[in-house]
Amino acid sequence: MNPEIISTTTEEYKELIESLKKDGFEMMVDLTVVDWFRKKEPRFEIVVQFLSTSKNSRRTVKVFVNDEDLTIPSITDIYPSANFYEREAYDMFGIVFEDHPDLTRILMPDDWEGHPLRKNYGSGRIPVQFKNAPKVD
Amino acid sequence: MKNNRIKKSKLSNFKNKLDFWATNSEEGGWNISSTDEGSQKMLENENEKQIKIQTGTEVVDDFVIDEDTSDDERMIVNMGPQHPSTHGVLRLQLELEGEVVRRVKPIIGYLHTGMEKTGEELNYFQGPTNTTRMDYLSPLFNELVFSLTTEKLIGIEVPKRAETIRILMTELNRVSSHLVALATGGMDIGALSMMIFGFRERELILNFFEKTTGLRMNHNYIRPGGVAADLPDGWQKDVEEILKIIPEKLQDYDDMLLDNPIWKGRLQNVGILTTEECFAYGVTGPSLRASGYSWDLRKSQPYSGIENYEFDVPTLTEGDVFARWRVKVLEIFESLKIIEQAMNNMPKGPYKVQDKKITPPPRKRLDESMEALIHHFKIYTEGFKVPEGDAYVAVESPRGELGCYIVSDGSAKPYRMHVRGPSFCNLQALPVIMTDSPIADAVAAIASLDPVLGDVDR
């Protein structure tokens, strides 16, 4: 089933989501980010998948977010399921969701530096040490 | 002087070691505070919205406060990450009042291995080796969804036999996954015989998987363009045995548990999840069907030719732990129906697409044909190129909607590979089903959602 794709801007993003909710899209299924580093401008593309079980259809919403700005309104008040996904997007790409109740890292440790899924983040091995644990050799 | 310094550093080194191990001593006390830093504070400095989420009252407010409890009984407890009933390395911060759970904060990430980053570095041919390790109880679904997405991007259709083998294998996988869910669910509540029974029957299916794919788990069997190998000789016999034994054993479980007053007393009216809450938190799969909403992607958005099979979607209305347990048992029966139909109607023909650019040629051809050797070399070194574009495909995994989103930039590796794990999303409903019930029921509630932490953390 091919989802219908809607492109929008960060200003109109929240209104669009509200209208989708009114249109009967009960579930926000997935939220993820694509990093178009040096390929597209603006750099980050946020891709949100919606599902309507009553109409049996899907929608994909795509928003581009600027590298300097990095902020986009949070949709957790409309779809509570966005909570974890927005935290994941913040953790992995550094996108800041405004008015999110608890925008902290979710998968990486709290004191991690950098955002691992960005294209300019290398994928080498990093020595991992537990937080503040004394070294035992 | 120099000597002295070395001695000093050696001594401090030793002290560090001592501190590390003797955390109970007065001097080593700082170590305790440093290693579990913030663990008690995480639940404290929080705003109203967060408290609403953690008490599970964001969607439907059914929060009841017993006025009698004093602050002395209020306690913040860490459950996990190393806790047998959290199904892996899930950590929960609980606020308890006496024995009643008031607030829950799930903390995840202990099993995060950056599989989405790895997915960007493996080509499409290697992709299933990576995705199969995500949800390790239903690995074939992960391979299937990755393969379907890749095929959608390329725009090919796999042969009928490959489709039927895919259905046969994934439905067997659903049975084995549900059996583990029933087994561990029983174990968490104390029905230890259920645990042994569930794992025993699962072994039958895993043996068949081993025969077909070579491995019990992490098969890498379903690949873009078809499946890796044909079914082994005499596979019907093994499947027939599974079809004969599993219903008998399920009957045994029902005799043991269905009318068992202890089992019912422990599970009924515990951890209730309404349809509204399911929609709000994106809960799909058996948990949604146990809450009275008949939604199955196999029926509504069929994949891999599953629309040609006859089966029902069991739906219960209670939405409690008992209903979620019952739905899984009923789903096993439906899956067995599909397996039987797939076995009887297995078409003949190739088990992968004959496009040599996508699937490697059989080993025998390499000795005869130069072209086959070139194709083989090309696929195993570079992989195949996939046209530019993006696609989202979802299948019904044993835990709910399993989606895969791939962005291709025209090369042999995905530009971005994202997997929508059902467990990750379902986990958000934990506060709803755990709060306002005793901590013993909370354990049953976690087990009923059946989270697989490999799928949550990826």
The DSSP output letter for B361 is P
Q: H or E stretch including B79?
A: strand B74-79
The reply to whether A6 touches chain B by the CB within 8 Å rule is no
Contacts A–B by Cβ distance under 8 A: 110
List the single range of A12-21, B53-62, B285-294, B417-426 with lowest mean pLDDT: B53-62
Contact residues, chain B, for A92 at CB < 8 Å: 116
Q: Is A53 close to B20, i.e. CB distance below 8 A?
A: no
The reply to whether A84 touches chain B by the CB within 8 Å rule is yes
Q: Is B37 close to A131, i.e. CB distance below 8 A?
A: yes
The reply to whether A86 touches chain B by the CB within 8 Å rule is no
Domains defined along chain A, listed by start: 1-137 (3.30.460.80)
The reply to whether A130 touches chain B by the CB within 8 Å rule is yes
How far does the CA of residue A119 sit from the closest CA of chain B (Å)?
9
Q: What are the Cα distances from residue B223, in Å, to B158, B303, B339?
A: 11, 15, 20
Q: Is B37 close to A58, i.e. CB distance below 8 A?
A: no
Q: What's the rounded mean pLDDT across residues B164-190?
A: 90
The reply to whether B4 touches chain A by the CB within 8 Å rule is no
For the ranges A110-114, B96-100, B151-155, the maximum mean pLDDT occurs at B151-155
pLDDT at B38: 46
pLDDT at B26: 42
Q: Which of A1, A58, A107 sits opposite B457 (nearest CB)?
A: A107
How far does the CA of residue B282 sit from the closest CA of chain A (Å)?
6
Q: Is A84 close to B409, i.e. CB distance below 8 A?
A: no
Q: Is A133 close to B34, i.e. CB distance below 8 A?
A: yes
pLDDT tens-digit series, residues B199-212 = 988 998 999 999 99
Q: Is B108 close to A32, i.e. CB distance below 8 A?
A: no
The reply to whether A79 touches chain B by the CB within 8 Å rule is yes
Q: Give the ipTM.
A: 0.88
Q: Chain centroid to CA A49: how far?
A: 11
Q: Which of A56, A85, A101 sits opposite B49 (nearest CB)?
A: A101
Q: Is B280 close to A81, i.e. CB distance below 8 A?
A: yes
Confidence of residue B33 (pLDDT cuts 50, 70, 90): very low
The reply to whether B274 touches chain A by the CB within 8 Å rule is no
pLDDT tens-digit series, residues A108-130 = 887 777 888 888 887 766 666 66
- Cα(B76)–Cα(B40) distance, integer angstroms: 7
Contact residues, chain B, for A133 at CB < 8 Å: 20, 34-35
pLDDT tens-digit series, residues B185-201 = 888 888 888 888 889 88
In words, the CATH class of domain B115-355+385-422 is mainly alpha
Q: With a CB-CB cutoff of 8 Å, which residues 387-426 of chain B face chain A? A: 390, 392, 394, 401, 403, 405, 407, 409, 415-416, 418, 420, 424-425
Domain ranges of chain B: 115-355+385-422
> pTM for the full model?
0.86
The reply to whether B282 touches chain A by the CB within 8 Å rule is yes
pLDDT tens-digit series, residues A36-92 = 888 888 889 999 999 888 888 888 999 998 888 888 999 988 888 898 999 999 988
Q: What's the rounded mean pLDDT across residues B98-116?
A: 85
Contact residues, chain B, for A3 at CB < 8 Å: 392
The DSSP output letter for B70 is -
The reply to whether A116 touches chain B by the CB within 8 Å rule is yes
Confidence of residue B63 (pLDDT cuts 50, 70, 90): low
pLDDT at B362: 82
Q: What is the mean pLDDT of chain B?
A: 83
Identify the three-state secondary structure at position B78. Answer: strand
Confidence of residue B141 (pLDDT cuts 50, 70, 90): very high
Number of Cβ within a 10 Å radius of residue B131: 29
Q: What's the rounded mean pLDDT across residues A86-105?
A: 88
**Nearest 5°: phi and psi at B392?**
-120, 125
List the single range of A103-117, A123-137, B223-237, B304-318 with lowest mean pLDDT: A123-137
Helices B321-344 and B235-257: crossing angle in degrees, nearest 10, is 160
Q: Are strands A57-65 and A4-8 parallel, antiparallel or unpaired?
A: parallel
Q: Is A80 close to B31, i.e. CB distance below 8 A?
A: no
Confidence check: pLDDT of B44 > 50: yes
- Cα(B106)–Cα(B8) distance, integer angstroms: 44
Confidence of residue B146 (pLDDT cuts 50, 70, 90): very high
The reply to whether A120 touches chain B by the CB within 8 Å rule is no
- Cα(B192)–Cα(B190) distance, integer angstroms: 5
3-state SS track over B306-325? HHHCCCCCCCCCCCCHHHHH
The DSSP output letter for B381 is H
**Nearest 5°: phi and psi at A28?**
-95, 110
Tokens of A122: 């290398």
Confidence of residue B61 (pLDDT cuts 50, 70, 90): low
pLDDT at B418: 92
Instruction: Taking the CA atoms of B3, B4, B9 and B15 in sequence, report the sign of the dihedral they define.
Output: positive
How far does the CA of residue A34 sit from the closest CA of chain B (Å)?
7
Q: Is B282 close to A79, i.e. CB distance below 8 A?
A: yes
Q: Is B20 close to A136, i.e. CB distance below 8 A?
A: yes
What one-character-per-residue DSSP string does chain A give?
Answer: -PPEEEEE-HHHHHHHHHHHHHTT--EEEEEEEEE-TTTSSS-EEEEEEEEETTTTEEEEEEEEE-TTT-EEE--TTT-TTHHHHHHHHHHHH--EEET-TT---SSS-TT--S-TTSTTS---------TTPPP--
Helix, strand, coil fractions of chain B, as percent rounded to 5: 50, 10, 35
Cβ–Cβ < 8 Å for B97, B443: no
The reply to whether A135 touches chain B by the CB within 8 Å rule is yes
Q: Is A26 close to B279, i.e. CB distance below 8 A?
A: yes
Q: Is A80 close to B405, i.e. CB distance below 8 A?
A: no
Q: With a CB-CB cutoff of 8 Å, which residues 90-119 of chain B face chain A? A: 108-109, 112, 114, 116-118
Q: What's the rounded mean pLDDT across residues B280-302?
A: 89
